[in-house]
Structure formats: C-alpha cells, structure tokens
C-alpha cells in the first residue's frame, strides 16, 4: 500500500520526519508532498498524528500517461465499486506538473468519465449522486507524465483541528502554527512566549506538541471512517495508542499575550476546546512591556502584525520595538513569521536564518535566531 501525503510549501522536511517516526518507508519527498509505502493501519495513524500534513491520499493506481486515452485506461483499471458506493458524490481534482497533459478541466472530465463508465458499465449512463452523502474526493496527480490516481482519506484538510470556534478573518493555519513551533527549536524545559497570540493557534499547537497529543484525536472526522472496506478497528487502535502516548501530568510554561482583550478571550476558549487550557497562561498585555522586563529565557514563537491595513508608521514602530527586545535579551531564542521585509534593515541579520513560508497565499519569511 502506498500513500501520498500533501503539505504546505517548505515544511516537507518536517512531514518527512513525522512519517519516519511512525516507522514507515519513504519512497520520495518532493515539493509539497511525501510519498511512502506502508500498511492500511497507517491511514488512521498518520491522519491522527500529522501536525503539518494537509491530506493523506491512498494510491489506487499509477503509470505513465502520454495522452487522454492513456489516462482513461489507467483510471478504468481500478475497481471503483470497491471505493465508491453507488450514490456517493464523486469530486475529481487534478494537478499537472511538467506533463504533456496540462489541461486541468480536461483531466478532470476524462477521469470522472472513466470512473462512471467503470461503475455503470457504459459510457452513456450517469450516476445518481446523493448530495446528503459524504463525497469521495479523487486527486489525479501527474508529474513528468507519471500519473497517480489518489483517494483522499482525510476529507477536509488536516489543519482543521476544529478547536477554533472563534477566529479572525484569516487566521494562521494550525499546521503552519505547529511548523513554526517545531522549526523554532523550543526546549520544552524552558518558557515559550507568543507576544501576539490572536486566536491562540501557536500557543495551542505548542501545548499539543509538548504534551504529545495527536492533533487529529481532538474533534474531527475523517473520510476513511465512511469507507466500508476500511476496518474500524484500525482507528480504534490508533486512538488508544494516541491516548496512551499523551502526557497528562507534565507541566510546561507557555505564555501567550495580546493587547486586545477580545483576542485573549477567544484564545482561552479555543484552548479549552483543545483541552490544553491548563498548559497555557494567557495575558492581556502589550508586547512592548517586554522592553522593560527582566532578562527573558526560553523561546519566542510569534506571528506579529504585517497586514496592509496597518499604516507603515505603526508597523515600523512594532518591528523596531521587537528589534530592541531582541537586543536586550541576547540569550533568548527567537522565531517569528512575517511578510514585513523592512525588518531586514532593523537588525543585524548575521545571527538569523530566514526560511521562506506561505501564510495562506502570502509569501512570508520565518526569522529564526541561530
């Protein structure tokens, strides 16, 4: 059995390590995905445990396709009745990279036709799709003319942990928040600070990581739970394993603050939903208060403001004050994400490493002190 796990750009190495820890064979790591070989029990385990993964796909078939006839034949080779009930809506998505077949609509149309033909036995018949049932999402991924036919086992993206009942218009993704904590090199024995906690995502993900809580074990449901062929015992066993591996009694010092009382209240509620409110100390506090604080130790992981709706003078002051806090606390480990690139001119970049990341579709840099 082969699985194809997608992720946001530039965190492939983290996803690679996640899969290695689950002790499965990695076949390829490339741009925004990791391809691996495993057993079917792993479908449940990676969906539960992946902190930076996007979707977990089961490979149903793969081969070289040079034209649309090849694509139709490849998709038709699959016994779709094993994977799609007669009334499930079928959604076909497609990605084409450096391949002769580059028309996404044509790839989708050809693949959907092949699936329907295989199920009905005729090119002229249609499937009744009950919109009340969970759709089956198929991904046709073609790279260098090699086509993989993939079944989404996660359904909605794994970053949707469902602990955020309150959030801003465009909050940082949970998977990106987890990636920032993992990239920061935070030592759990020392404090972690988030000076701009917003809806609490970074602090909550830090708490889940330090307490070894599987993020998928919180609130969400997976597509594979509705697959008649997938043993329910695999998920039950994976949840029992996750429960046994979580730390219930260990204490960590995670301090999340924000100048806005509404943000702090929102973050507290979200932490309660994630069952980690006892692990995080929330404070209503202007980050500039740390300009006069005693020497800090530990790690800062944060998502400072950088939106265009803030005027340049306010942004400039925020980042100049951040630079002063950096200089006042030389032993403090730092990691923060921003698209406010003028920060480069405010500090000596020699002790910093910049890593390109994307917050949704916005290009950012993760500044990490090394």
Task: Determine what percent of the chain is predicted with pLDDT higher than 90.
Answer: 76
pLDDT 10s digits, 119-169: 999 887 888 889 888 899 999 999 999 999 999 999 999 999 999 987 776
- Confidence bin at 312 (pLDDT 50/70/90): low
Q: What is the rounded CA–CA span in Å between residue 122 and residue 113? A: 10
Q: What is the rounded CA–CA span in Å between residue 6 and residue 55? A: 5
* pLDDT at residue 38, rounded to an integer: 87
Cβ-Cβ contacts under 8 Å for 36 (sequence gap 6 or more): 2, 3, 5, 19, 24, 25, 26, 27
Q: What is the mean predicted confidence (pLDDT) over 52-81?
A: 97
Task: Determine what percent of the chain is predicted with pLDDT higher than 70.
Answer: 97
Q: What is the rounded CA–CA span in Å between residue 223 and residue 255? A: 35
pLDDT 10s digits, 208-262: 999 999 999 888 899 999 999 999 999 999 999 999 999 988 889 999 999 999 9
**How many of the other CB atoms lie within 10 Å of CB of 176?**
26
Tokens of residue 308, six digits: 């265009």
Buried b (16+ CB within 10 A) or exposed e, 310-319: eeeeebeebb
Cβ-Cβ contacts under 8 Å for 217 (sequence gap 6 or more): 48, 239, 242, 243
* pLDDT at residue 345, rounded to an integer: 87
Highest mean pLDDT among 21-35, 92-106, 285-299: 92-106
Q: What is the rounded CA–CA span in Å between residue 80 and residue 139? A: 14
pLDDT score of 360 more than 60: yes
Q: What is the rounded CA–CA span in Å between residue 111 and residue 95? A: 12
pLDDT score of 71 more than 90: yes
pLDDT 10s digits, 39-48: 878 899 999 9
Q: What is the rounded CA–CA span in Å between residue 238 and residue 344? A: 45
Highest mean pLDDT among 160-169, 262-271, 324-333, 358-367: 262-271
Lowest average pLDDT, out of 61-70, 111-120, 276-285, 303-312, goes to 303-312
pLDDT score of 317 more than 70: yes
Q: What is the rounded CA–CA span in Å between residue 158 and residue 196? A: 24
Q: What is the rounded CA–CA span in Å between residue 155 and residue 59? A: 15
pLDDT score of 311 more than 80: no
- Confidence bin at 314 (pLDDT 50/70/90): confident
> 21 in helix, strand or coil?
helix
From residue 263, give the alpha-carbon distance in Å to each of 135, 201, 278: 35, 11, 18
**Nearest-CA neighbor of 328 among 295, 287, 367?**
295
Q: What is the rounded CA–CA span in Å between residue 179 and residue 336? A: 11
Q: What is the mean predicted confidence (pLDDT) over 320-339?
A: 92
* pLDDT at residue 148, rounded to an integer: 98
* pLDDT at residue 307, rounded to an integer: 65
Cβ-Cβ contacts under 8 Å for 257 (sequence gap 6 or more): 193, 194, 195, 196, 197, 264, 282, 283, 284, 285, 287
Q: What is the rounded CA–CA span in Å between residue 283 and residue 285? A: 6
Question: What are the strands, taking DSSP E only, across the chain?
Answer: 2-7, 25-30, 33-37, 53-64, 90-97, 136-143, 146-152, 192-194, 254-258, 280-284, 299-302, 333-338, 352-359, 362-369
Q: Domains in the chain, start-ordered, CATH in brackets?
A: 2-152 (3.30.2130.30), 174-213+248-369 (3.40.50.150)
Q: DSSP code of 243?
A: H
Beta strands 254-258; 280-284: pairing state: parallel
For all residues of the chain together, what is the average pLDDT?
92
Q: What is the mean predicted confidence (pLDDT) over 292-320?
A: 83
Q: What is the rounded CA–CA span in Å between residue 204 and residue 268? A: 10
Count CA atoms closer than 13 A to 111's CA, side-chain side: 26
Q: What is the mean predicted confidence (pLDDT) over 26-50?
A: 93
């Amino acid at each position: 059995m082969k699985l194809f796990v997608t992720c946001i750009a530039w965190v492939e190495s983290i996803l690679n390590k996640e899969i290695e820890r689950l002790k499965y064979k990695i076949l390829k790591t490339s741009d925004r995905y990791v391809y691996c070989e495993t057993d079917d029990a792993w479908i449940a385990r990676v969906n539960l445990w992946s902190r930076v993964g996007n979707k977990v796909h089961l490979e149903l078939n793969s081969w070289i396709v040079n034209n649309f006839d090849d694509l139709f034949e490849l998709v038709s080779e699959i016994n779709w009745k094993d994977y799609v009930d007669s009334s499930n809506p079928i959604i076909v998505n497609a990605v084409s990279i450096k391949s002769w077949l580059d028309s996404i609509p044509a790839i989708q149309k050809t693949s959907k036709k092949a699936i329907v033909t295989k199920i009905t036995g005729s090119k002229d018949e249609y499937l009744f799709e009950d919109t009340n049932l969970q759709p089956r999402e198929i991904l046709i991924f073609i790279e260098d003319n090699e086509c993989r036919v993939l079944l989404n086992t996660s359904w909605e993206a794994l970053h949707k942990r469902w602990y955020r009942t309150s959030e801003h218009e465009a909050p940082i993704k949970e998977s990106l928040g987890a990636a920032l904590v993992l990239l920061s090199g935070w030592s759990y024995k020392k404090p972690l600070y988030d000076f701009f906690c917003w809806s609490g995502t970074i602090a909550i993900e830090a708490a889940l990581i330090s307490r070894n809580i599987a993020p998928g074990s919180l609130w969400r449901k997976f597509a594979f739970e509705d697959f008649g062929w997938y043993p329910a015992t695999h998920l039950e066993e994976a949840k029992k394993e996750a429960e046994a591996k979580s730390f219930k009694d260990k204490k960590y010092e995670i301090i999340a603050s924000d100048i806005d009382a509404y943000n702090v209240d929102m973050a507290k509620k979200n932490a309660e939903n994630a069952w980690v409110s006892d692990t995080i100390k929330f404070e209503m506090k202007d980050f500039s208060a740390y300009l006069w604080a005693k020497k800090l130790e530990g790690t800062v992981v944060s998502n400072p403001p950088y939106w265009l709706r803030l005027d340049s003078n306010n942004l400039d002051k925020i980042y100049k004050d951040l630079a002063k806090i950096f200089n006042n606390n030389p032993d403090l480990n730092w990691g923060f994400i921003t698209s406010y690139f003028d920060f480069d001119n405010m500090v000596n970049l020699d002790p910093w490493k910049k890593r390109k990341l994307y917050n949704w579709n916005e290009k950012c840099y993760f500044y990490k002190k090394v």
